[in-house]
């Protein structure tokens, strides 16, 4: 804590009993030192001798960025379709678990370089299929029963975590480990570490795959008939139906695509970072919501927003160890970024939803 005229301030107001009421407490830290540690912890010190852009800190930052690209795209696709997918975390869990089981089952058949060429794509496919199937469930509930997607996706997050945790503990647990995890995947069932130290659990190929997916999703949304149906259903559902768009099919398809992207994030988490499936998956899915909102639900913006949050997530650890600033304050910084950027989008979505409710009420009143 730096030398300040006051390390803390208290605003009080007398109560009827004469006891002061506490309103606020503020703390004084050196912001320059905090931001210095934050960004140097995430990127390394470029002014130090022997610095390399392939350093361990950069590997952690890009590793976090890569996973957040997939979860951010997952939420962005759903938002563009006019639905709110809070279930990306559950879809990530199901995708990661599906990847681990599929790779473990297929590993005895192949090995070596051929195993890498076979098992990594197979694991990604399994994660996408698992996440897509799990994402289609709330889509079908909304399309067929008009169930609120916010409620169903939140509930399905708990279902995914609980069921997968039970299966790992009772059916697929590694008998040689005390942790609740599956057996380790073979060493060749992993993304090759190119240009970075393999101990950093980051692969440049995975990042390039994420960037390629950004381009693919952008093209899908902007230049295909499916993307047109998706965007039209999100902006003007009534006009889309009048134009011949099958709204129910579009909702299910958008949730399935969103879930598949979340499942790919889970597959990357297993194949690139862990090397098996473990319970207690970090909240990448919920972070994807903030990434998507910060990007304005634009696939290209998701890449830059994911990089920003990758820096914040990886730098937080260094701030915690190198300063007396609690890591929660970095979380506050992330929250403030989201607050100031997301409020216009929040009110736009809220206004659009209220307009749809009012139009539906007027139609019911006229019948």
Domain ranges of the chain: 57-311+336-353
CA distance 247 to 143: 8
For the cut 60, the answer to whether the pLDDT of residue 150 exceeds it is yes
What percent of the residues of the chain are helix, what percent strand, and what percent coil, each to the nearest 5?
70, 5, 25
Q: What is the pLDDT of residues 326-350, one digit of tens each?
A: 767 777 776 776 677 667 766 777 7
Q: What does the DSSP 8-state code read for residue 271?
A: I
Q: Which fold has domain 57-311+336-353?
A: ABC transporter involved in vitamin B12 uptake, BtuC (1.10.3470)
CB 81 within 8 A of CB 251: yes
CB 232 within 8 A of CB 239: yes
Place of tokens 């090759």: 192
Place of tokens 């006229």: 366
Q: Give the pLDDT confidence score for residue 305 in this predicted structure.
A: 93
Which residues, other chains included, contact 332 with Cβ-Cβ below 8 Å and sequence gap of 6+? none
Over residues 44-66, the mean pLDDT reads: 83
Q: What is the pLDDT of residues 280-302, one digit of tens each?
A: 999 999 999 989 988 888 999 99
CB 21 within 8 A of CB 14: yes
Confidence label for 75 from pLDDT (cuts 50, 70 and 90):
very high
Q: What is the pLDDT of residues 262-280, one digit of tens each?
A: 999 999 999 999 999 999 9
Q: Give the pLDDT confidence score for residue 22 in this predicted structure.
A: 42
Question: What's the full length of the chain, in residues?
Answer: 367
| Tokens (6 digits) for 60 | 């952690």
CA distance 317 to 69: 21
Weakest mean pLDDT among 52-56, 66-70, 162-166: 52-56
Chain centre distance of CA 189: 23
Measured over the CA atoms of residue 289, residue 290, residue 294 and residue 295, the dihedral's sign is: negative
Burial code (b: 16+ CB inside 10 Å, e: under 16) for 4-30 equals: eeeeeeeeeeeeeeeeeeeeeeeeebe
Q: 13 forms bridges with which residues in the sheet?
A: 21
Confidence label for 133 from pLDDT (cuts 50, 70 and 90):
very high
Other CB atoms within 10 Å distance of the CB of residue 274: 18
Place of tokens 């709110």: 84
pTM: 0.83
For the cut 70, the answer to whether the pLDDT of residue 191 exceeds it is yes
């Amino acid at each position: 804590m730096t030398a300040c005229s006051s390390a803390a301030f208290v605003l009080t107001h007398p109560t009827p009993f004469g006891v002061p009421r506490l309103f606020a407490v503020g703390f004084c830290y050196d912001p320059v030192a905090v931001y210095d540690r934050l960004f140097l912890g995430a990127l390394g010190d470029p002014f130090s001798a022997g610095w390399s852009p392939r350093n361990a800190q950069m590997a952690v930052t890009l590793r976090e960025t890569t996973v957040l690209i997939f979860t951010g795209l997952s939420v962005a696709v759903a938002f563009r379709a006019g639905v709110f997918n809070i279930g990306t975390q559950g879809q990530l869990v199901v995708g990661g678990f599906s990847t681990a089981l599929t790779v473990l089952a297929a590993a005895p058949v192949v090995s070596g370089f051929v195993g890498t060429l076979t098992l990594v794509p197979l694991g990604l496919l399994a994660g996408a299929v698992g996440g897509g199937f799990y994402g289609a469930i709330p889509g079908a509930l909304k399309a067929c029963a008009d169930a609120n997607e916010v409620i169903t996706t939140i509930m399905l997050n708990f279902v995914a975590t609980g069921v997968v945790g039970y299966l790992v503990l009772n059916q697929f647990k590694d008998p040689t480990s005390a942790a609740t995890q599956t057996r380790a995947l073979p060493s060749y069932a992993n993304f090759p570490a190119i240009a970075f130290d393999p101990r950093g659990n980051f692969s440049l190929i995975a990042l390039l795959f994420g960037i390629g997916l950004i381009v693919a999703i952008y093209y899908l949304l902007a230049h295909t008939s499916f993307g047109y149906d998706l965007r039209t259903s999100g902006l003007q559902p009534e006009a889309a139906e009048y134009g011949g768009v099958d709204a129910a099919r579009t909702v299910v398809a958008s949730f399935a695509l969103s879930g598949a992207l979340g499942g790919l994030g889970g597959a990357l988490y297993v194949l690139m970072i862990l090397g098996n499936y473990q319970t207690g998956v970090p909240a990448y899915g919920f972070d994807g919501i903030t990434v998507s909102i910060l990007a304005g639900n634009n696939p290209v913006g998701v890449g830059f927003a994911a990089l920003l949050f990758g820096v914040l997530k990886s730098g937080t650890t260094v701030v915690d160890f190198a300063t007396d600033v609690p890591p929660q304050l970095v979380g506050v910084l992330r929250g403030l970024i989201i607050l100031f950027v997301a409020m216009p989008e929040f009110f736009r979505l809220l206004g659009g939803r209220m307009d749809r409710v009012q139009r539906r009420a007027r139609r019911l009143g006229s019948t």
